[in-house]
Structures are given as C-alpha cells and as structure tokens.
C-alpha cells in the first residue's frame, strides 16, 4: 500500500532490502527467538549505510555552501569591480578584500547590491532574479540540512546508546534500527536523485563526464569510512562538473573532506563503524553540535579552497596559501561566461536538491507518521507480550485504554492519510474511494472483519460505503455475532441493513447475492428449525475457502500470534464493539456473555483463516473442535472429495447451546506459524 518509500534502495538494492527484511523479521519476532548475533552484524550494516547517508548529507551541505559562496563571490565581484572592467583579467589587489569579506559574512543579496548588479547588465534581470531566489533558497536549504543532519546525528547517538543496552531492549533497538534504516534509505534516495540530476545535466550537454579521471582526492574520506558506493558516487558527481578543465575536477570532494573534518562526523563515523566500541563502554557522548560554516570558524577557510587546491568546479589549481587562492579565484574565476555557466549549473544542482529535499522531507514525514500510527494502533497491531518500545507502548496504551467512542474510530487529531493509516480504520477522507471498488479488501488487508467492523461501525452505518469484505465474510460475521450463532435469512438481511448503509439500497441485488453465497458456499449450513430454517457457519469450511495468503503486515500476524491470549486486541475490539452494539450484545448477557466469545472467536477465525495457508502443510488437521451436534441439516452441500464430511456437519458452530468457553477451547496455536513466510 505505501508505495514503498522503504523499499527504495539506491546503491545496494539487494542488500538493503534484505537487510530491511531481516530487521523486520527481528522486530516482529518474539523475544524468545531473539538472536543478538545477527542483529549486531546487521546493525553494523545499518551504521555503515548511515554513515554513507551522512556523507551524502555532508556533500550536499558542502555543495550548497560552495554554491552560496559562488553567488556571494560573484555578487561581490560585480559590486566592486564589475563597473570598471567586467572583463578584466589583471589582478587587482583591491579585489581581494571584498571577496574575503563576502566569504566571511555570507548574506543575502541586498537590494542595493542587486540594483548595482542590475545596472551592470552583466546578467539579465531574470538571471538575477534566479540568483536572488537561489540564494535565499540556499540559506533555507542550509538550515534544513543542518537540522536534518543534526537529527541524523541524534539518531545515531540514540542507536549507539541502545546498542549499549543490547540484549536488554532488543525490541526497541530493532525498532529504531528499522526506522533508521528507512531514514537512511531515504537519504540514499536523495543521493540517487542527485546522481540522476547530474546525469540529466550531462544529457542536456551542460555537463560532460571525463572518463579518465584520476581517482580523486578522496583520501581523507577513504580512511576506512567511505564505502565504495560513495566513492563511485563521488566520481560521478565530481567528474560531472565542467567540461573544459583539463586539470580535472573533483573539488567538491575535497570540499566534502574539509566539511567532514570540520564537523565531528569522522569521529562519529569511526565510532559507528565499530559497534563494539559502544558496547565496551567506550561510547563517547556526542553532542550534535550545530554545523557552522567553515569560514565562520576559520577565517582562512573557504568553501572553494581546501587542501591547497582551488575547488571551483572544474578547477584544480594549486594555491600555496589562502592569499594566492584568492588571487586565483579572482583571476581565473571572475565573472565571465564560463563562470556564469558553471554557476548556473551549480544552481540547478542546488535547486534540484532543494526540490528533492522538500519531497523527501515530506516523504519522511509520512513515513514517520506511518510508523507512529502503526505503533499506536492497538487493534490492528496489538502489542505482543514481549516489550515493544516503551515510548510507543505507553502512548498506545494511553490512547487505547480510554476505549474511545466508536463514533471516533480514528484518532481525531492525527492528520493521517488513509493509506498510511492502514486498512483497519476508515477515515472520512477515504470514503469516496470505496464505492466502485469491491472484493478482497479483507483478504488484501488481512484485517479481522470483526475488528474492522467494530472500529468502523459508525462509519459503515452512516456512510454509504461498501464494506471491504466479501459477502461470505459478512454473512459469517452476522451469524457469529448472533447470540445463537445462527440466523435466518431475514435476520441476515436485517443485519446487513442495520450495519451498513450501503446495503440499504439495491436490496434485490445484494439480497440475491446473500442468498447466492449462502447456497454456494459450503461454509454456510442450513439448519432446519422449528419455525423454519436458520443458517450457521462451518468454520472449517470457511477457513478452507480462504486461500489468500498474508500480504499485509507480517509483524501484525506475528504479533497476534505471539500473544497467545489475544488479550489486547480482543479487548480493544470487544470494547469498541460492545460499546456500539450494546443493545444486541447484552441481551444475552445472562448466558455468560456469548457475544464476547463470538467476537473473540470471530477475530480468531479471521486471523486463523488468514494464516491458514501460510503454513500450507495441512489445513485439514485443524485441531479437534468439539463439534456441537447440530440439528439435522436438511441439505448438505456437495463435497466431492471428502467423504467423511458428508456424514454430518461435524464442525457446526451453532445450535442452541453456545459454548461459553468457545474461544478458549479452540486453540489454533498448536503449531507456530512458519517464520519464513513470504
């Protein structure tokens, strides 16, 4: 359903997806099956990839700085010297001062400066407009990146801290690891898009890749921290700058190195790369300090200058010291067509990155929202007996316990899209999409029909929305909800119309469908009664009819399985359902509250039915479920294969005497479901 932001892996799709699967597996595995060893190795992988993502981040950040400085520089150049001789190549010492000033005090172009630049008519007004916007965007971008990087650092720190307590809180750790993987994958996606952008620029002729590039000044980064993928990326990125410079380019890589060094990233990186460092108690607490511009800290650092080399895109001129670099900058990279073009390219890169950043931030937000919601969704994602993240657990508990009114099946405050919300709860925003689509919702989503109905009862009652369940499921639910687990046809009709606004019209159609289903499916057994006939459900047959495999959240199933008692989801659904169904449900309260058993069994049946075919070994060897001897079914539906089934309705869930411990006896937990589903 969520078109998998998660699955977007760039550099190593296979490894990443496998890793994700693995983590997912572990996050959904009960504590008893936890194996710390693979977690560690995979965690290392995560960290490695996180480092990669951080490096990308740093690159972006530094690139932005470069572009920003470029803009400032050009602006200063034009302001100071452009009026006199825009084309001048002779080195004027006076130029150095404003340039350096510009480097020290990065600011947005003032209107006066803009006016001056305009008067020079070096750039068209449109270009200047773009420049101005670009610079403002750059400031914003830089801010965002700083925040983002900070966040990432905090994530890393959290992860490391958790790793320190590995074994104690494996669940939480894995959760965070999973989330982090998602974040990191998103970063990788950014990386990919950056590559794509550069490639597109290439195709447009704006850039050309020079194949025989010497393999770059990546040494500081390659000190065991940068994986090969990133190196490759750097090659591509840096080699894709300007065509003319025969000297080679890769300056932004240098920029990255300086940025990397100036920030505290390397130390983190090395720490991260060694997961045992933290477990050995050597974890040095990193306070994620704010990224400060290099030229703010060091007066003689410049985004375009590093390691004695000019880092102007496409230039690799060696500059002895900073002064010579400034001279070089003013002479070789003065405002001319080439520099303008290069700047424009850089602007496009930045623009694209900014765009992508916005998109990815949005996506990230959606991801976080999704994860949060899922963790606070007690009914569809019941907490297993072993601990979950304490934060989400407490939150979900606090949200679930005051059994919210059924009228508000959704958390009213959460602005969640129906997609991220999962199938179980329907919001009003999704009601318009349900109309024509039909069939297999339940199978697709694997949502227990009873819980779904319980949660969305009010919605179904009022909104003319087709319930996402098949007729068979609905009929079965209606029957199971009845005190006696048997209904006449007319009662089934009434249940349909009572529960679903959708079935208040086109009666002929859906009634015909109901009859058709009752007759067609073997799971519905007609039982003669004194005053006619009633319909009951044969659970075995019903489950046989559900060959759909689990396509939804595997953790959900596992969680539900891991918690044998189904206490939490059951109670939640029950409370919601009973609050809504108070009248019909409590009518039979004297009989030990059969509705509870009904609903519980319904949920379990649904769940079991959904899982039935995951372990396809045998669906027939379902445990002996004390078949209540039904009355005499008038008509036994044809069962060509199983002769023993023709002898009688063995597993009728019916007839007068309900079993109070109905849900207790019928345990389907006799065998653990295969872990390796999918």
Interface residues with DNA (CB under 7 A) are: 438-440, 443-444, 469-472, 488-490, 493, 506, 508-510, 512-513, 515-520, 526, 532-533, 535, 545-549, 551, 635, 637-638
Element (H, E) at 62: helix 36-77
**Nearer of residues 25 and 445 to DNA, judged by Cβ:** 445
CB of 514 to DNA, least distance (A): 9
Dist. CA 239–CA 215, nearest whole Å: 10
CB of 509 to DNA, least distance (A): 3
Residue with smaller CB distance to DNA, 520 or 589: 520
Nearer to DNA, 302 or 521 (CB): 521
DSSP letter (8 states) at residue 487: B
Question: Measuring CA to CA, which residue among 64, 55, 60, 26 is closest to residue 42?
Answer: 26
**Residue 495 or 535 with smaller CB distance to DNA:** 535
Closest listed residue to residue 441, CA positions, set 422, 464, 416: 422
Give the chain's radius of gyration (CA, Å).
33
In the complex, minimum distance from the CB of residue 644 to DNA, in angstroms, rounded to a whole number: 20
> 304: phi > 0 → left, psi -120 to 50 → alpha, else beta; which?
alpha
CA distance 284 to 153: 13
User: Residue-wise over 536-555: b if at least 16 C-beta within 10 A, else e?
Assistant: bbbbbbbbbbbeebbebbbb
CB 279 to DNA: min, Å = 43
In the three-class reduction of DSSP (H, G, I as helix; E, B as strand; rest coil), residue 130 is classed as: helix
Pairwise CA distance, residues 255 & 586, whole Å: 72
For residues 253 and 251, give the distance between their C-alpha atoms in angstroms, rounded to a whole number: 5
In the complex with DNA, the residue whose CB is nearer, 245 or 538, is 538
- Please, which residue, 338 or 444, has the CB nearer to DNA? 444
CA distance 657 to 649: 16
Count of beta carbons in the 10 Å neighbourhood of residue 32: 8
To DNA, the closest distance from the beta carbon of 465 in angstroms equals: 13
Containing 526, the helix (H) or strand (E) segment is strand 524-529
For residue 489, the minimal CB distance to DNA (Å) is 3
Distance CA 306, CA 251 (A): 8
Smallest gap from residue 480 Cβ to DNA (A): 17
**Least separation, in Å, of the C-beta of 485 and DNA?**
16
User: How far does Cα 287 stand from its chain's mean position?
Assistant: 27
Q: Residue 167 or residue 435: which is nearer to DNA going by CB?
A: 435
Tell me the three state secondary structure of residue 206.
Answer: coil
Which residue reads 């209904």 in tokens?
A: 487
- To DNA, the closest distance from the beta carbon of 604 in angstroms equals 18
Q: Which is nearer to DNA, 305 or 471 (CB)?
A: 471
- Please identify, using beta-carbon distances, which residue of 421 and 517 lies nearer to DNA: 517
Contact call for residues 175 and 389 (beta carbons, < 8 A): yes
């Amino acid at each position: 359903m969520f078109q998998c932001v998660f699955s977007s892996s760039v550099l190593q799709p296979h490894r990443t997806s496998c890793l994700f699967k693995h983590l997912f597996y572990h996050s959904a595995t009960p504590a008893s099956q936890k194996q710390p060893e693979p977690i560690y190795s995979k965690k290392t992988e995560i960290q490695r990839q996180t480092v990669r993502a951080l490096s990308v981040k740093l690159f972006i950040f530094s690139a932005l700085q470069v572009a920003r400085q470029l803009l400032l520089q050009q602006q200063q150049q034009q302001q100071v010297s452009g009026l006199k001789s825009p084309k001048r190549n002779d080195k004027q010492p006076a130029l150095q001062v404003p340039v350096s000033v510009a480097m020290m005090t990065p600011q947005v172009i003032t209107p006066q400066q803009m006016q001056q630049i305009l008067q020079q008519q070096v750039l068209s007004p449109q270009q200047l407009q773009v420049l101005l916007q670009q610079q403002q965007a750059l400031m914003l971008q830089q801010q965002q990146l700083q925040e983002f990087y900070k966040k990432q650092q905090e994530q890393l720190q959290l992860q490391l801290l958790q790793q320190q307590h590995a074994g104690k809180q494996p669940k939480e750790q894995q959760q965070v690891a999973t989330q982090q993987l998602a974040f990191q994958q998103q970063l990788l996606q950014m990386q990919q898009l950056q590559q794509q952008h550069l490639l597109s620029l290439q195709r447009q002729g704006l850039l050309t890749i020079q194949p025989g590039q010497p393999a770059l000044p990546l040494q500081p980064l390659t000190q065991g921290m940068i994986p090969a993928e990133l190196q490759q990326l750097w090659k591509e990125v840096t080699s894709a700058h300007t065509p003319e410079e025969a000297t080679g380019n890769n300056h932004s890589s240098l920029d990255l190195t300086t940025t990397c060094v100036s920030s505290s990233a390397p130390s983190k990186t090395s720490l991260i790369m060694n997961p045992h460092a933290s477990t050995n108690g050597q974890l040095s607490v990193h306070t994620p300090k704010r990224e400060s511009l290099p030229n703010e800290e060091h007066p003689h650092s410049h985004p375009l200058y590093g390691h004695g080399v000019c880092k102007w895109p496409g230039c690799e001129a060696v500059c002895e010291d900073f002064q010579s670099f400034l001279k070089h900058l003013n002479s070789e990279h003065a405002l001319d067509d080439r520099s303008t073009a290069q700047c424009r390219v850089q602007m496009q890169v930045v623009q694209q990155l900014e765009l992508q950043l916005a998109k990815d931030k949005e996506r990230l937000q959606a991801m976080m929202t999704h994860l949060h919601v899922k963790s606070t969704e007690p009914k569809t994602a019941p907490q297993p007996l072993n601990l979950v993240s304490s934060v989400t657990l407490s939150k979900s508990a606090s949200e679930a316990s005051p059994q919210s009114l059924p009228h508000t099946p959704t958390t009213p405050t959460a602005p969640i899209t129906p997609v991220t919300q999962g199938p179980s709860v329907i919001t009003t925003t999704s009601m318009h999409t349900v109309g024509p689509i039909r069939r297999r919702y339940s199978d697709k989503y694997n949502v227990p029909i009873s819980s779904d109905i319980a949660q969305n009862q009010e919605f179904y009652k009022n909104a003319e929305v087709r319930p996402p369940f098949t007729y068979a499921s609905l009929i079965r639910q209606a029957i199971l909800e009845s005190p006696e687990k048997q209904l006449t046809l007319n009662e089934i009709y009434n249940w349909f119309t009572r529960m679903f606004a959708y079935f208040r019209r086109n009666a002929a159609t859906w009634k015909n469908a109901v009859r058709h289903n009752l007759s067609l499916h073997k799971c519905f057994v007609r039982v003669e009664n004194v005053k006619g006939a009633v319909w009951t459900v044969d659970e075995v047959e019903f489950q046989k009819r559900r060959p759909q495999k689990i396509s939804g959240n595997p953790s959900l199933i596992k969680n539900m399985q891991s918690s044998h008692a189904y206490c939490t989801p059951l109670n939640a659904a029950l409370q919601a359902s009973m609050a809504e169904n108070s009248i019909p449900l409590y009518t039979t309260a004297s009989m030990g509250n059969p509705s509870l058993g009904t609903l519980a069994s319904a949920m379990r049946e649904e769940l079991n039915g959904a899982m039935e075919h995951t372990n396809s070994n045998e669906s027939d060897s379902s445990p002996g479920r004390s078949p209540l001897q039904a009355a005499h079914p008038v008509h036994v539906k044809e069962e060509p294969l199983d002769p023993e089934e023709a002898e009688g309705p063995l597993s009728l869930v019916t007839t007068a005497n309900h079993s109070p411990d109905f849900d207790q006896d019928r345990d389907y937990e006799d065998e653990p479901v295969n872990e390796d589903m999918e």
